[in-house]
Structure formats: structure tokens, C-alpha cells
Amino acid sequence: AVIGALADDKRNLNGAWSGDGREQDPVTVLEGIRAKTGNSAKITFAPGCDIPCEDAKGFDEAVRAARQSDFVILTVGEDAQM
């Protein structure tokens, strides 16, 4: 399972100091894992919350995904405006 609002968020990967970085340039954590594993692994994605994560309505889905998975990659961090 890949869990976290930033796991599939291109906009915030460049950060506030991106210079000439374009939103379409980064490879998200989820994209990279899917590209590396191909069809050899079942990847479940659950954001858990949106950015800035002001409510917990997606937490149950994220917990379920984690419990049903052999491995969990949790992405945490801050949005580009922080």
C-alpha cells in the first residue's frame, strides 16, 4: 500500500523553491513504484486525507489498505506553500 496525500501529487513535489520546475516534471512516489513493479505487484493507493489534511474522513480507507498489504510506504511532508 502507498499511503499519503503527497504520494501522487505532482504540484507539491517541486516545493516552493522550484525555480523553473514545472508541475508535470516530477515523478510521484506512486508513479515511480508502479513503473518499477509493473504488473508484478498489486499496488493500493489511499491518500488518507487531502492537503492540508484538515479532516480525517479518508483515514479509515488508508488503515484498511495498510492492514490488507504486506508492505506500506507512507508519504508525509508539507505542501509547496509551507
pTM: predicted TM-score of the whole model, two decimal places: 0.86
By C-alpha distance, which of 41, 40, 53 is closest to 2?
41
Beta strands 2-3 and 73-74 are parallel
Average pLDDT along the chain, 82 residues, taken 10 residues at a time: 94 79 87 95 95 90 97 91 78
What pLDDT was estimated at residue 16?
76
In the chain, the N- to C-terminal Cα span, in Å, equals 27
Bridge partner list, 74: 3
By C-alpha distance, which of 46, 45, 43 is closest to 35?
43
By C-alpha distance, which of 30, 28, 36, 35 is closest to 12?
28
Q: Read off the DSSP letter of residue 27.
A: P
